[in-house]
């Protein structure tokens, strides 16, 4: 998930005439991006609210994250995607219609699938420096607010521009935000497993 973040002008570059046809896309209906962002946030809120205080402590063993590290990673990832979409992708020219895209459902499914390991790049890994749970969660909420605002204000512009995702191939801008919904669901499952493991210990 190594997203290149570069802030640019807020104005969108117009697509060159004549209008380009829609990109080739795997069969499947378009998802309601705003609804999926809201739904996955509610799942995250429920998972975080159910965490016992002990779950926020660092796990200690290599490669395992505590709840604080998971939530910190979520905030880092959400802001990285928001800043990339807002500051870079939305300023790019329109898509090449010859490039095939996955379906929205495939993006969501792949992002949420914990059976396929994904390694976060160094800059999206939690520092684990003991921030309070409320402060960590506030970062996720603020980033998700920004993602919803992007999806609401730039729905068609997002569909008209594409960029390669490091794990899932070429995605349009809306699918980059759908990735956040699936990614959140992925870590909801991780948070639930963390709580279940601590209760069993």
**Looking at residue 174, what is its pLDDT?**
97
pTM: 0.85
**Looking at residue 56, what is its pLDDT?**
86
Strand positions, DSSP E, the chain? 162-165, 169-172
Distance CA 42, CA 25 (A): 29
Structural domains of the chain, ranges and CATH numbers in brackets: 33-57+66-200 (1.20.120.450)
Task: Tell me how far CA of residue 38 lies from CA of 24, 147, 152, in angstroms.
Answer: 27, 10, 12
Mean pLDDT, each 10-residue run in order, the chain (201 residues): 41 47 65 97 96 80 81 96 97 86 96 91 84 90 98 96 94 97 97 76 44
- CA dihedral over 36, 74, 82, 98, signed as positive or negative: negative
**Looking at residue 41, what is its pLDDT?**
98
Q: Which residues pair with 162 in a beta bridge?
A: 172
Distance CA 154, CA 173 (A): 9
């Amino acid at each position: 998930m190594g997203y290149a973040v570069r802030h640019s002008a807020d104005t969108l570059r117009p697509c060159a005439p004549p209008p380009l046809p829609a990109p080739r896309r795997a069969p499947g209906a378009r998802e309601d991006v705003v609804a999926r962002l809201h739904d996955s946030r509610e799942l995250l809120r429920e998972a975080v609210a159910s965490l016992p205080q002990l779950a926020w402590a660092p796990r200690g063993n290599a490669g395992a994250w505590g709840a604080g590290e998971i939530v910190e990673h979520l905030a880092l990832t959400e802001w990285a995607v928001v800043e990339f979409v807002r500051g870079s992708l939305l300023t790019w020219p329109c898509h090449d219609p010859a490039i095939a895209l996955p379906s929205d459902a495939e993006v969501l499914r792949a992002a949420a699938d914990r059976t396929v390991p994904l390694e976060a790049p160094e800059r999206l890994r939690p520092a684990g420096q003991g921030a309070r749970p409320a402060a960590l969660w506030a970062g996720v909420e603020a980033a998700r607010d920004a993602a919803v605002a992007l999806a609401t204000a730039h729905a068609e512009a997002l569909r008209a521009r594409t960029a390669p995702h490091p794990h899932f191939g070429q995605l349009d801008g809306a699918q980059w935000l759908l990735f956040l919904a699936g990614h959140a669901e992925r870590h909801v499952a991780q948070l639930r497993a963390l709580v279940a493991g601590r209760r069993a210990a």
